[in-house]
A and B are shown apart, each in its own frame.
Chain A
Amino acid sequence: MRGAPISGSDTDACRGMTGAYPTDTIAKRVPKTLMFYFQSIHRCLRLLASIGALTLVGCNQSPSTRPTPITAGSDLHPTVINEPDRLTSIETGTPDPRGVPTRVACRTCHSLRQSNPLPNSMDKLTTFHQHIAFNHGDSTCSSCHVEGQHDRIHLANGTVLPLTEALSLCKQCHGPQYRDYSHGSHGGMNGYWDRRRGPRTRNHCVDCHDPHAPQIPMVMPAPPPRDRFLKAHVEEDAHE
């Protein structure tokens, strides 16, 4: 009774795959009533297969007394470095009606307007970017930025890079930080410690440090524990 395409689909269903049903090919060969019949059988089989798959998943989750071995040598999942908004857009200073700060892409203005020559100090900015608080050693705008190119930076040796590759720029001066960063001991991360099992996301330098004023500003801490012993401890100290 069954044609070859249907048994093929059945195999797919048993594997738990969700392949497209080859309706067109069958429709040419069989009447519509039979089509409906075949499709019902197919749906039933798919349902059975998914129940089977769920049962298997359930078995895997049940407690096992043996330690789970990790197979070594398998491919590692990637580590992805964030690309902060700061590298492609700037805050407008005007929040939207919900109070969320709005950003505008660099090219929105820079594609229309010819940039002025880069100034050598912040107070010479008279029209745009005046909000920038600059406190980054003795560097000036042109230490990093490329005149006339809003989305480019240059390294100390003159190599011009896209702004999104700012990490290469930072590491020229901040070598120890970059060394620690590349060994996972500077800069926050998310995801998996074991990259055999999942990927990891790393913060970019400018996720945490404002490139124009890199020192991390003071913050208010999260609330302390309300622990009666800790209070007692402070009082003891006060007596000393």
Chain B
Amino acid sequence: MSEKPKRRVALKVLGATLGAGAFARAMAPLASWSKDLSMGEFLQKHYSEMTPDEMNTVMRRLESNTKRDYGRDVNIRDIRPSEGVEFGYALNLSVCIGCRKCAEACHNENNHDRRTNNSYIRVLEMEQGSFDMEKGNATYTHAVPAAGKYYMPVQCQQCSNPPCVNVCPVQATWKEPDGIVVVDYNWCIGCRYCEAACPYHARRFNWTKPEIPAEEINPDQAYLSNRIRPQGVMEKCTFCLHRTREGRLPACLEACPTGARVFGNMLDPNSEIRWVLANKRVFVLKEDLGTDPRFFYFFDE
């Protein structure tokens, strides 16, 4: 009679111990997580809901985090779009030689992870006469331009009907009034739906915390563009909005040695981009998908 209750007690104790152990194990990530994530970061609002003061606080916090983690003083700004400006980009495939200088400039300008040599631009080596982007080779290492090939740099096409924005479950990515699709890296949950939805392979995921030596960090940063991204979030080309919203040319264009790239305001009838759209035979990638890109390609006649 007295045996049974004892066994029951033993089982209860065992169960409680296992339960407590399992709970502690389940909560363990929380302890390490709170080290990296301050209360301010946890309670941070969405970009569109922050007041200028809150935005300022967030940017100063990000600057001090960069100083702490990377040992570099940087300047993070929040630059808003200008009225009467919608950006457009065109690329002349007849003169592109595939030297990857644009991808290299992007890598340096946008504080990309050095380990993966990441860049928002992939230069595809294509067979002349073929137009299957999926067959393009992005990892060639021979001298360029090779015979029988042409080169097609592909980056975010800043679609007017962006599939990546439509699939985001938390609205961490959206289209700005000047046509640039941006990501609030602090709102992104890293589900990578947008990466899957993009037909141009234009989005990248930060699998690890980016590694950049302090002296190589570009200190001219913006909240929505080239500030160093945290681990576990998506990133993408922003047409260098920290430069272009101040009237400067994007880094990839300045680096292009052949002048294959044309950038400007599509609402200005006297801009270079408008001249190209009016006078060259321009086309967009995967037009049939209805994404309505703002990135155009053309060949010289």
Contact = CB atoms under 8 A, between A and B. Distances in A.
Interface string B286-301: 0000000000000011
A62 B56 contact: yes
Contacts, number: 151
B164 interface: no
A208 interface: yes
A62 B75 CA distance: 12
Contacts of B284: none
A94 interface: no
Given A198-B248, A224-B138, A65 B80 contact: yes
B162 interface: no
B244 A70 contact: no
B79 to A, nearest CB: 8
- Size range of the chain B interface in the assembly: 35 or more
A183 B275 contact: yes
22 contacts: A69-B82, A70-B83, A70-B84, A183-B276, A183-B279, A187-B259, A188-B253, A188-B257, A189-B254, A221-B100, A221-B123, A221-B144, A222-B101, A223-B104, A224-B100, A224-B117, A224-B138, A224-B141, A225-B138, A227-B138, A234-B139, A237-B135
B122 interface: yes
Given A185-B276, A218-B143, A191 B122 contact: no
B249 interface: yes
Nearest to A68: B82
A200 B257 CA distance: 16
B104 A222 contact: yes
Interface in B246-275: 246-249, 253-254, 256-259, 262-265, 271-272, 275
B interface secondary structure, majority? loop
Contacts of A203: 259
A72 to B, nearest CB: 8
A70 to B, nearest CB: 5
Interface string B124-166: 0000000000010111110111000000000000000000000
Interface string A28-62: 00000000000000000000000000000000011
Interface in A174-205: 176, 180-181, 183-194, 196-198, 200, 203
Given A63-B55, A225-B117, A183 B78 contact: no
A186 B92 contact: yes
Given A72-B84, A193-B264, A194-B265, 9 more contacts: A70-B83, A176-B301, A189-B254, A190-B254, A193-B249, A203-B259, A219-B97, A223-B100, A224-B117
A189 B92 contact: no
Most chain A beta carbons < 10 A, residue from B141, B256, B272, B276: B272
Interface in A57-98: 61-70, 72
A68 B253 CA distance: 24
A231 B138 CA distance: 9
A64 B254 contact: no
Given A65-B80, A186-B259, A193 B265 contact: yes
A193 B264 CA distance: 6
A70 B247 CA distance: 10
A180 B301 CA distance: 11
B177 interface: yes
A154 to B, nearest CB: 27
Contacts of A67: 80-83, 177
Given A63-B78, A188-B256, A227-B118, A221 B272 contact: no
